[in-house]
Amino acid sequence: MGSLPIAVSGSTVNSGGCRWSGWCNKNNSSGKSGSNGSGSSDSCANSSAFVFFLVSFVCLASIAGLYCRVLLPPNVHTTLSSLGCNEDNEGSWSIGVYYGDSPFNLKPIEEANVWRNNTAAWPVANPVVTCASASGASFPSNFVADPFLYVQGDILYLFFEAKNSITMQGDIGVARSTDKGATWEQLGVALDEDWHLSYPYVFDYNGNIYMMPEGSAKGDLRLYRAVKFPTEWKLEKVIMKKPLVDSFIIQHDGKYWLFGSDHSGIGAKKNGQLEIWYSSSPLGPWKPHKKNPIYNTDKSKGARNGGRPFLYDGHLHRAGQDCGETYGRRLRLFKIEALTPTDYKEVEVPLGLKESMKGRNAWNGARSHQLDVQQLSSGEWVAVMDGDQVPSGDVNRRFILGCASVLGVVMLVIVFGMLLGAVKGLVPLSWCPHNVGKRSDASFDWERSSLLSNRMRLFCSRLNRASSSLRARIKPKTCSGGWVLTVIFIVTVVLMCTGVKYIYGGSGAEEAYPLNGQYSQFTLLTMTYDARLWNLKMYVKHYSRCSSVREIVVVWNKGQPPELSELDSAVPVRIRVEEQNSLNNRFKVDPLIKTRAVLELDDDIMMPCDDVERGFKVWREHPERIVGFYPRLADGNPLKYRAENHAREHNGYNMILTGAAFMDSKMAFEKYWSKEAAAGRAVVDKLFNCEDVLLNYLYANASSSSTVEYVKPAWAIDTSKFSGVAISRNTQTHYGLRSSCLQKFSEMYGSISSRKSEFHHRNDGWDV
């Protein structure tokens, strides 16, 4: 056998080798290793590598920090409650309400135009119950799911699973609504056991109210009876010694039928198994169906129950969970055609619920897995459904991908350092810590003779020779070598930002912000013409995906309007063609607008959905004001129109650019088209400018308090600079016209120079 190509005598290794712990001097303090200068060279090499890695870390950390600050939206759930709403690997489930004239024609609550003026929700939007709702009632929850309704006259009771943020197990919460589900009063925990509870199926029998929650962790199926409805329950009976999940009991053809899934059996397919049992009473005893298991199939087939069955048009219907892509991905609905002790048959029918096109920005954009639909005494149908923005296991997946990205960054930094000469090899030149003291002869001899030690030395040597070969081939000082270094640097930065996004950036959903526990929606309105179609297409595609956008209204001032099919939108788009090309059209009264809030946003402004959502929340706090993203200051004698920089220098603003601002559609538009504003509108038509200045004056003239509010966007891009169709290309001329308008409007409606709002007055820091 040939000998290893590594010198093991003394304290050094042949060129390109690595120093193993066995090659250390038996007494490092003797200083022999420095006799040939190798100690000094090792020290220099280690020092160079240390400095390189330190500089790399500082540089990449700075880039990652800037990326987080500017581009990553905040995790909204962390702002919802100080008690609960922690990021959970099971998801961030919440609950929504739907209405319809049949269980196959259900629409979300926002389309019913339910208005709650005292809560600043115009109209109320889903979700109506969230982790913050439960946590605010002093039972901290990470999420709420598995909703079931119990109807008593005009009062709705909602039972649901609330995952406790402390015990990390499910409890059964309960809430009450007296307005058909628009608002909910949290009543607390209805049922809490030492094991996980979910799926709180509630029903009547013989004058009593029963609950049959899923508690498979206990190994059986239990029935509870209400002692003091809805918050006190007593164990009535263990009705089956099987760990059934997501079970319900229904009465059909003189018998009671129990549907549930037992995933504990040998060969049972999780989320793909279903069994049926029957009895003369919900209390049992229960007999198994002849065809059990009814299903033991693929988990995407809807075998696992997904809520309460319902009777419609003489047919019984069962909801099932499609868990194919992820747990609880969507619901499937089945019409039961045969249900006897010896036969069972069902066929799938359309559910009739349209999925949102907003993706993860929708509250149920990733999955929905439970539905309870019931008919009210009025004949109307009401339903509750849970939803989530992220798939199951999203937290773990993001952490793994983030760690993989960071590992990739480390490897690229090492390669980059090797090419620059700062890192001499893939394996450190010295494996011996300083001052290790004396080592035994036995240990030294074992390391020299150990096969593992020899193989490791050989492996290290080859790695370091490979690094030298890499540097010789790429030659960093050449033009091609410089390009390689540039590409490595760019890829490293991208991987670093990707890793940070996965680990710290949350689910990627740009969520809505609730106010007083409720959500709402607004109409997005923009004014444009044919030369700016490119801007409009990009604008509609981006903003239609924002959580709270209900509809987009395009005020078309000039030219041939586009076909709606040309616009990629996740929400309805309405193009309002105007007869006259006038800036006054921006604020025209529009009775077809269904929301109280309108965001007037120029089609050449692109900003993150999170900025839009923050602005909407601030407007809901101050619906009597104009809330926008571009502050202006009118001051001086004579009055001059000043940009944001001037406003910041003087720590105040008295105007908001209405090309990017929220307002009350009814109040703002009626003010603008009032008789008092006629002279101002004439000035706007004459100068083809100043429509937003006029609206600011009209607001100020009608109120003695503050009328404007500023929210700072994380970033914004003016897309007209790319298309070359900016309306106001000459800033000086543009500002000069506006200064002229200030003087004219001051004569008409009074000065606003004394009305100055300061920056930094908000507690949330959104106006910094």
Q: Which residues are catalytic?
A: 692
Question: Smallest Cα–Cα separation from 177: which of 140, 205, 147?
Answer: 147
**703 and 626 in contact (C-beta within 8 Å)?**
no
**363 and 126 in contact (C-beta within 8 Å)?**
yes
Name 606's bridge partners: 717
**391 and 367 in contact (C-beta within 8 Å)?**
yes
What's the Cα-to-Cα distance from 329 to each of 301, 369, 439, 510, 763, rounded to whole Å?
Answer: 12, 7, 61, 20, 39
**Adjacency order of strands within the sheet including 640-642:** 640-642, 631-635, 655-656
Joined together, the tokens standing for residue 214 give 């899923």
Question: Smallest Cα–Cα separation from 650: which of 758, 498, 564?
Answer: 758
**Adjacency order of strands within the sheet including 310-312:** 310-312, 315-322, 330-339, 344-349
Query: By 3-state DSSP, what share of the chain in percent is helix, strand and coil, each rounded to 5?
Result: 30, 25, 40
Query: Residue 489 burial by CB count (10 A; 0-12/13-18/19+): exposed, middle or buried?
Result: middle
Interatomic CA distance for residues 603 and 539, integer angstroms: 6
Q: What is the CA 578 to chain-centroid distance, rounded?
A: 38
Helix (H, G, I), strand (E, B) or coil at 692: helix
Cβ-based neighbour number of residue 662 at 10 Å: 30
Please enumerate in sequence order all residues whose Cβ is within 8 A of that of 617, keeping only pairs 6 or more positions apart, or say none: 513, 514, 515
Helices (H), 22-76: 38-71
**385 and 371 in contact (C-beta within 8 Å)?**
yes
Joined together, the tokens standing for residue 524 give 């997005």
Q: Exposure string (b/e) for 586-616, b if CB count within 10 Å is 16 or more? A: bbeebeebbbbbbbbbbbbbbbbbbbbbbbb
Query: Residue 377 burial by CB count (10 A; 0-12/13-18/19+): exposed, middle or buried?
Result: exposed
Interatomic CA distance for residues 366 and 388, integer angstroms: 6
- Give the phi and the psi of residue 598 in degrees, each rounded to 5: -130, 135
- Give the phi and the psi of residue 226 in degrees, each rounded to 5: -70, 125
**510 and 474 in contact (C-beta within 8 Å)?**
no
Kindly state the helix (H) or strand (E) to which residue 577 belongs, with its residue range: strand 573-577
Joined together, the tokens standing for residue 387 give 């939803």
DSSP labels for 383-429? EEEEEBSS-TTHHHHHHHHHHHHHHHHHHHHHHHHHHHTSS--SS-S
Q: Please give the DSSP secondary-structure letter assigned to residue 17.
A: -
**237 and 283 in contact (C-beta within 8 Å)?**
yes
Interatomic CA distance for residues 323 and 391, integer angstroms: 10
Interatomic CA distance for residues 644 and 742, integer angstroms: 17
Question: Smallest Cα–Cα separation from 79: which of 513, 670, 685?
Answer: 513
Phi-psi region of 279 (alpha: psi -120 to 50; beta: other; left: phi over 0): beta
Cβ-based neighbour number of residue 396 at 10 Å: 10
Helix (H, G, I), strand (E, B) or coil at 108: strand
Interatomic CA distance for residues 632 and 690, integer angstroms: 13
